[in-house]
Chains A and B, each alone.
Chain A
């Protein structure tokens, strides 16, 4: 495998957990719900996936359990905010704290357990083509799934009637309710989807990225995914761009350091954040378009009037 292909593979691996979580949060926010619990849901998904893989040895089941665990904790959030009308920001933060603690306590017995990583796709002949081979055919299955799901979300939101309804709910829940759409039910669905995607992003870490369990192993990736959604101004294509850009600059700064270039490492560690925000802000600086894309009723409590 040549140098460029190796670097690009690392970039894609670094971006994949972010892409999963950000895609899910995009759908949640488009329905008008702000769930700040991404980090917690990722951790619960990660520990669910790892414990399943450790117990059964079946990575596919582990992926499903990871997504299911993420969705399950997101439903707690949905119940509190949508049915009991609690504040979404505070509840989301609480969900993160809860996820950190819950995953740590479930994962206690798994620290120090080694695991075999997910197998990479290998198509005889094709995967050996220089550069293009490993880039197109050399990933683990979750990488392909993340891109497929993002494309699916784009198609759902902008090319399907249910997607239009979901966006309408996010724009004005009063209006959607008046027409007769089940606002609360739709938002439950969107939150659960966001939870499942965060769970998948979390599951990617111990199944493929670094095959082990350690407390708090997401190390802030949930927050980055949240920020990506906002800086991408709620547009799926830009979420993809932002995630890969972040992954790319992360890997690039490591290579610059390893190459012995004399730049402060603290500055280099900041670079992925700075670069991603700068690029996304620059390409999305049109205020009118931001208003068009931002769900107008995000974070607002909805109480159906009789």
Chain B
């Protein structure tokens, strides 16, 4: 997995590029959208890729006869192969290409430079071109609600968190969870296990077992399989699912899940291609933009807690509740974000420290 230490400089550079791009831009309206999607996993992975594919289908439906049948390529490895796949899609007459994994960033950029009349959309990256946008979701907003639920439901005051790779997106989730958790249960702690993989059901299950053995009674995950929820169900503790609703795997244990929703964005961008208003942008959408939602809360959660969670969702959408609002202390107990302030987006994009309440050291 790629680490990106120079992220902030690159973001700044890319932002400058975007300004130039906007100035030079000028896209012609298209009669029809012919979209293509490049996926890192299989469309039926019940997680990351299947959610992107659901968005593709929503887009096709919403555009009706304005869209030609969209193409998708599954299981594309991140690297040189990806460039070949993307180029092939550009050559075969697609005018809007979505590449939905971080590792497709450089291949997408290379192909975008070669095909100025094709619009490219890259998920979760930070490099942009005049015809290449980036988009991502504020998954941490969902984590803040999950943290609130965990705070109310935990008895042991220990939350277990299975991380994939120590990248800012995952750290945002851990920190947002912990901040929300400790507003409800100030003495609760979060134990983190990094499994260094996105999908390995066996390893994820082992990590969940280890966390439960060490006292955790709510298991959160930023990995893609349903194994942690299954273990939680078997051991009689709670879990929070990732990417899609995992209720059927763990009907008793499943508090909620952070569900990715890409459809509204895909529809918007396809329409922009149709009416010629498509511009290179950097979009980081939250719950109010419809980029993510929460799976239905478990009926076993007391009604007053569910009401509080619903309220939190409404407040986040309204901008009244900021998941990274101060005061925030770091692990050493020093106040790093003052009351009345909040961590700004550019700092969040490179977040590389744990807040107070997370146990252990963040691997660097």
Contact = CB atoms under 8 A, between A and B. Distances in A.
Interface of A: 3, 6-7, 10, 14, 17, 104, 108, 111-112, 114, 117, 205, 209-212, 214-217, 219, 221, 250-251, 254-255, 257-262, 264-266, 268-269
A34 B206 CA distance: 31
Contacts of A114: 226, 230, 248-249
A212 B216 CA distance: 23
Given A112-B248, A251-B210, A258-B191, A210 B225 contact: yes
B304 interface: no
B156 interface: no
B214 A259 contact: yes
A117 B201 CA distance: 14
Contacts of B326: none
Given A214-B201, A265-B196, 9 more contacts: A10-B210, A205-B202, A211-B230, A212-B226, A257-B360, A258-B214, A260-B360, A266-B196, A266-B363
Interface stretch (B18-26, B41-49, B258-266): B41-49
A219 B213 contact: no
Interface in B174-208: 191-197, 199-207
Contact of B45 (A215, A262, A265, A269): A215
B359 interface: yes
B206 to A, nearest CB: 6
B151 interface: no
B205 A6 contact: no
Contact of A209 (B193, B194, B196, B205): B205
Contacts of A215: 41-42, 45
A205 B248 contact: no
A210 B211 contact: no
Contacts of B44: 108, 111-112
A251 B206 contact: yes
B46 A269 contact: no
Q: Say what secondary structure dominates the interface of chain B.
A: mixed
B361 A262 contact: yes
A262 B214 contact: no
B42 A265 contact: no
B363 A265 contact: yes
A111 B200 contact: no
B269 interface: no
The 8 closest A-B CB pairs, nearest first, are: A265-B194, A260-B360, A262-B361, A210-B201, A260-B359, A254-B210, A219-B200, A210-B227
B160 interface: yes
A112 B196 contact: no
Given A205-B201, A211-B230, A258-B193, A264 B206 contact: no
Interface of B: 41-42, 44-46, 160, 163, 166, 191-197, 199-207, 209-211, 213-214, 216, 225-227, 230, 234, 248-249, 359-361, 363-364
Contacts of B210: 7, 10, 251, 254-255, 257-258
B42 A14 contact: no
B206 A212 contact: no
B206 A10 contact: yes
B213 A3 contact: yes
Contacts of A7: 210, 213
A14 B205 CA distance: 10
B209 A6 contact: yes
B160 A217 contact: no
Contacts of A6: 209, 213
A295 to B, nearest CB: 30
A255 B192 CA distance: 10
B45 A212 contact: no
Contact of A258 (B42, B160, B204, B234): B160
A301 to B, nearest CB: 33
A7 B249 CA distance: 24
A216 B209 CA distance: 22
Given A108-B44, A255-B213, A260-B360, A209 B225 contact: no
Q: Which of B196, B200, B216 has the most CB of A within 10 A?
A: B200
B205 A117 contact: no
A143 B7 CA distance: 47
Contact of A112 (B46, B213, B234, B363): B46
A272 to B, nearest CB: 10
A11 to B, nearest CB: 9
A257 B204 CA distance: 13
A257 B193 contact: yes
A251 to B, nearest CB: 6
Given A254-B193, A260-B191, A261-B360, A212 B230 contact: yes
A215 B201 CA distance: 10
A257 B360 CA distance: 7
Contacts of B202: 14, 17, 205, 209-210, 217, 219, 221
A257 B190 CA distance: 12
B291 to A, nearest CB: 23
A104 B191 CA distance: 34
B214 A255 contact: yes
Nearest to A261: B360
A134 B227 CA distance: 22
Contacts of A14: 202, 206
A10 B363 contact: no
A221 B160 CA distance: 25
Nearest to B211: A258
B249 A212 contact: yes
Contacts of A261: 360
27 contacts: A3-B213, A6-B209, A7-B213, A111-B44, A111-B45, A114-B226, A209-B201, A210-B204, A210-B225, A211-B230, A212-B230, A212-B249, A217-B201, A219-B202, A250-B203, A251-B210, A257-B193, A257-B194, A258-B191, A258-B193, A258-B214, A258-B216, A259-B191, A264-B363, A266-B194, A268-B194, A269-B195
